[in-house]
Amino acid sequence: MKPHPLIEQLDKQAREKEGVFFAHIANRLGRDRITEKPVQPVRGVPDFWREYNLGEQERIELFMRNWESLGGTAKRFATKEEIAAFIDELAHGMSAKQIIRAKHGLLEEMKVDEKLSDLDMTIWEKDSPADLLAKAAGADIGITVVDFAVAHTGSVVVTSSPEKGRSLSLLPTIFIAIVPAGVIKTKMGEVMREVTKWNQNGMPAGIHFISGPSRSADIENDLTIGVHGPGIVYALVLDEK
Amino acid sequence: MSGFNPTSTLEERARVALNDEFLRNAVKYTTEKLRTNKKSATDELGNWEDWRDRGRMIRLHTIAHLDYYLSLFVENVRKAGGYVHFAKDTKEAVDITMKIMEAKKAKSVVKSKSMVSEEVHINHALEENDIEVVETDLGEYIIQLAGETPSHIIIPAIHKNKQQVADLFSAEAGETLPPVTKTLAGFARSKLREKFLEADIGMTGCNFAIAESGSMVLFSNEGNARMVSTVPKTQITFMGMERIIPSFEDLEVMASLLPRAATGQKLTVYMSAINGPKRSEDSDGPEEMHIIILDNGRSQQLGDPEFQEVLNCIRCGACLNACPVYRHVGGHTYGWVYSGPIGAVLTPVLNLDNREQWGEVANASTLCGACHEACPVKIPLHDMLVYIRRRNVEEGIVKKAEQLGMKGFQIVASNHRLFRSVLRFGKVAQLPLVKNGMISSKLGPLKAWNSFRHAPALAPQSFRDSWSELDQELKQTKNELPADIKQRMEEIVAKRGKQR
């Protein structure tokens, strides 16, 4: 799509102006502009932190403990069937009406749709006829398979794609994150390194670290859960590959 | 009501704050809580000093090579399909924003927290052009309804109580809402949900900008920053030109420092890296993304050995919570966008053209250094406050009485005979005023000092007269300064030597 003429004009102005802007910075710093990549005296975390690595079981347990301490619910399942049964029970137990889920092989193998066939189920995929945003906003539950999880901070990491919208983990009342045990890392940096490997074209538009339910302490420092984002969040860890 | 261009003086604003009992208690309670949380979070992480050093070194390096990293960032944002704009001052930032509004025929804007946008007064500009703008951070929403400005970087409505919030929300709802946090937050959620879904533009700040990937990174707890960067078709991000870090790897350090220093969290609920507009096949995310990079006095700090480090600030608010002055007067006393020790430095240095008005803000400090201790990137804020005060004196931006007093002191103190006789006279003359070793009289020149505290009486024996005794004591026990303090002092001395 061609940009609006005003935007084109602004962009042109910016490109004309940037040389002066950068030159001014260099000038203030008392030197010519640097165009060669400078050597970073340090990059990233201290060495002792780089070496901090937990075994798989510890990672899983620490992730679950941290997710719970943030106010989420963490459960571990041996098989896909067990997870599907849990979601079935949860959705029907709370009389959910609308569900929205990512399009993901694991969710199809779990046969979640069969279990929830009596509910209004929307699948997030490209060329989907539904108004996905409105569907997500109206959904009781959003389900997605996460790309990574971080044990140390109790976070799940979701990246955006045509099959996995950002809204899935944001707009519904309840967010269910399916966490394959193998994607749980000890610390944030391991995710950062994976992200760095993606080149510009391969990088998703949104990378979101999510640590527990949406919260605020803006009114008299009183903790409230569920402001804007989901107030109820599940991390369902799956051992089966 | 407090605005950003108060006609009152620092002293008048402080007096208002000191007479507001709720504000004082609320600020004290919350800052205390944030400090305790910070302490446990940093203890839990361990090696906090090593992390601070890392953070400082990354920030120092980035700022020292800002032209390189900023231009790399710009190149990568464009590669990802985003637009970048440069604004040397607030007027340019407003003009650029309004052009985008015009191109998008925008009628409504939803905003997540951005201190830079407060500098720009963007809400005011939008409203003047009949564009609805809604703050979506709960705290910011409260103060927007109250027509006020943020009084804390992290907790903007720190000075408001539940009843006040209930009154503001009730007026908005058209029905009486009880002062119950859950109900109030529930109202904001549903009200703002409508706004998110119908807004033309989402406006955000920027916690960090990653040069190597062209990503802008947002930290939020409520999820409003995600909403604003997910739902509307156009995203506009305000970014101070110093927000840059080189890489995602460096983000791990910043993400370890910022939430811990701010609220004592290991990580905020949401940390989002946004890399340009949505990809063509994505079904959500902004179709068009604009990043407005603002200078507004920042470049003036570059190359200045006394102030360049202020650009290392990551806006966590830890110095506010640690500051004995902030904890008594809250944020509005500082008068401009930023409060606490960082505000006491940024306000005068970013408003150099207006130094008559803003120079005095550097006086809102005790120079105790608690801000430096609290700072996750070790900015020597207390030193900077001294430099600004020195500048104020050099430029004559101090009160006439203070100038006269200092002149007088100079005459007396540069002649040891005169100094001793003044002291001897004072010891006798003070007698009618001294009670329990303190002088509380507000007579004549004593008023300025004694309005807020009592002056100590002159000691029966002067330091000079006690010297021979003290010298003996000193010779007996020789205490070495703690290594870190000594090193810092040596550094200062070495630096001074170089400058002279």
B403/B400 Cα distance (integer angstroms): 5
As a residue count, chain A comes to 241
Task: Please check whether residue B127 lies inside any domain of the structure.
Answer: yes
Residues B208, B217: contact at Cβ < 8 Å?
A: yes
Task: Please check whether residue B337 lies inside any domain of the structure.
Answer: no
Instruction: State percent of chain B over pLDDT 70.
Output: 97
The distance from CA B52 to its chain's CA centroid, rounded to whole angstroms, is 18
Average pLDDT over residues A188-211: 88
Phi-psi bin for B75: left (phi > 0), alpha (psi -120 to 50), beta? alpha
Inform me whether the pLDDT recorded for A29 exceeds 50.
yes
Residues A193, A186: contact at Cβ < 8 Å?
A: no
CATH code, domain with B259: 3.40.50.10420
B395/B412 Cα distance (integer angstroms): 23
Pairing of strands B234-240, A184-185: unpaired
The distance from CA B122 to its chain's CA centroid, rounded to whole angstroms, is 19
Can you state the angle between helices B248-263 and B21-45, rounded to 10 degrees? 130
Chain A environment of B193 (Cβ under 8 Å): 137, 228
Put simply, the answer to whether B288 touches A222 (Cβ < 8 Å) is no
Give tens-digit pLDDT for B367-377: 999 999 999 99
Inform me whether the pLDDT recorded for A143 exceeds 60.
yes
Dihedral pair phi/psi, residue B415, rounded to 5° = -130, 110
C-alpha closest to that of B137 among B124, B120, B126, B123: B123
B171 shares contact with chain A (CB less than 8 Å): no
Put simply, the answer to whether A6 touches B102 (Cβ < 8 Å) is yes
C-alpha closest to that of A165 among B269, B274, B288, B283: B283
Question: In a 3-state reduction of DSSP, which class is residue B244?
Answer: strand
B471 shares contact with chain A (CB less than 8 Å): no
Chain B environment of A196 (Cβ under 8 Å): 212-213, 247-249
Inform me whether the pLDDT recorded for B500 exceeds 60.
no
B27 shares contact with chain A (CB less than 8 Å): no
Average pLDDT over residues A99-125: 96
As a residue count, chain B comes to 500
C-alpha closest to that of B226 among B177, B192, B262: B192
Please give the full DSSP string across A176-195, using - where no structure is assigned: EEEEEGGGEESSHHHHHHHH
Residues B257, B51: contact at Cβ < 8 Å?
A: yes
DSSP tag of B456: E
Give CA angle at B331 (B326, B333), nearest 5°: 90
Inform me whether the pLDDT recorded for B496 exceeds 80.
no
* Nearest chain B alpha carbon to A189: B252
Task: Please check whether residue B329 lies inside any domain of the structure.
Answer: no
Strand partners, B438: B435, B456
B420/B407 Cα distance (integer angstroms): 17
B100/B92 Cα distance (integer angstroms): 13
Give CA angle at B82 (B76, B84), nearest 5°: 80
Instruction: Provide the pLDDT for residue A170.
Output: 97
Provide the residue type at B226 as one letter: R
Residues B291, B97: contact at Cβ < 8 Å?
A: no
Put simply, the answer to whether B104 touches A4 (Cβ < 8 Å) is yes
Average pLDDT over residues B425-454: 82
B255/A100 Cα distance (integer angstroms): 31
Nearest to A211 among B29, B88, B267 (CB): B267
C-alpha closest to that of B361 among B329, B316, B403: B329
B489/B466 Cα distance (integer angstroms): 27
Alpha-helix runs per DSSP H in B290-415 = 318-322, 326-329, 340-350, 355-358, 370-374, 381-394, 400-413
Residue A209 tokens read as 């670290």
Instruction: Provide the pLDDT for residue B174.
Output: 95
- Name the minimum distance, in Å, from the CA of B481 to any CA of chain A: 29
Task: Please check whether residue B348 lies inside any domain of the structure.
Answer: no
Inform me whether the pLDDT recorded for B307 exceeds 70.
yes
B148 shares contact with chain A (CB less than 8 Å): no
Instruction: Provide the pLDDT for residue B406.
Output: 87
ipTM of the complex: 0.97
Residue A181: pLDDT band by 50, 70, 90 thresholds? very high
Nearest to A206 among B99, B247, B272 (CB): B272
Average pLDDT over residues A25-53: 96
Put simply, the answer to whether A188 touches B156 (Cβ < 8 Å) is no
Task: Please check whether residue B240 lies inside any domain of the structure.
Answer: yes
Chain B environment of A2 (Cβ under 8 Å): none
For residues B292 and B146, membership in a common domain is answered with yes
Inform me whether the pLDDT recorded for B202 exceeds 80.
yes
Nearest to A41 among B61, B276, B281 (CB): B61
Average pLDDT over residues A96-123: 96
Residue A114's contacts (CB-CB under 8 Å, 6 or more residues apart) are none
Put simply, the answer to whether B223 touches A170 (Cβ < 8 Å) is yes
Domain that holds residue B188: 54-299
B168/A163 Cα distance (integer angstroms): 41
Domains observed in chain A = 1-38 (no CATH), 54-238 (3.40.50.10420)
Nearest to A42 among B57, B85, B268 (CB): B57
Task: Please check whether residue B17 lies inside any domain of the structure.
Answer: no
Average pLDDT over residues B131-147: 96
Give the total number of structural domains in chain B.
2
Give tens-digit pLDDT for B383-425: 999 999 999 999 888 888 888 888 888 999 999 899 988 888 8
Residues B31, B24: contact at Cβ < 8 Å?
A: no
B156/B137 Cα distance (integer angstroms): 9
B271 shares contact with chain A (CB less than 8 Å): yes
Burial of B314 (0-12, 13-18, 19+ CB in 10 A): buried
Residues B260, B42: contact at Cβ < 8 Å?
A: yes
Inform me whether the pLDDT recorded for B499 exceeds 60.
no
C-alpha closest to that of B362 among B337, B332, B342: B342
Inform me whether the pLDDT recorded for B2 exceeds 80.
no
Instruction: Provide the pLDDT for residue A128.
Output: 81
Nearest to B281 among A34, A35, A126 (CB): A126
Chain B environment of A170 (Cβ under 8 Å): 223, 226-227, 230
Instruction: Provide the pLDDT for residue B434.
Output: 87
Task: Please check whether residue B250 lies inside any domain of the structure.
Answer: yes
Inform me whether the pLDDT recorded for B141 exceeds 60.
yes
C-alpha closest to that of B301 among B291, B292, B313, B285: B313
Chain B environment of A9 (Cβ under 8 Å): 99
Burial of B333 (0-12, 13-18, 19+ CB in 10 A): buried
Strand partners, B190: none
Inform me whether the pLDDT recorded for B6 exceeds 70.
yes
Put simply, the answer to whether A44 touches B252 (Cβ < 8 Å) is yes
Helix (H) or strand (E) holding B245: strand B244-245
* Nearest chain A alpha carbon to B156: A218
Mean pLDDT over the full length of chain A: 95
B65 shares contact with chain A (CB less than 8 Å): yes
B262 shares contact with chain A (CB less than 8 Å): no
C-alpha closest to that of A172 among A105, A226, A111: A226
Task: Please check whether residue B159 lies inside any domain of the structure.
Answer: yes
| CA distances (Å), origin B361, targets A128, B4, B335 | 57, 13, 8
Average pLDDT over residues A150-160: 98
Residues A191, A59: contact at Cβ < 8 Å?
A: no
Inform me whether the pLDDT recorded for B33 exceeds 70.
yes
Instruction: Provide the pLDDT for residue B477.
Output: 63
| CA distances (Å), origin A133, targets A169, A180, B232 | 12, 26, 10
Put simply, the answer to whether B275 touches A30 (Cβ < 8 Å) is no
Put simply, the answer to whether B88 touches A11 (Cβ < 8 Å) is no
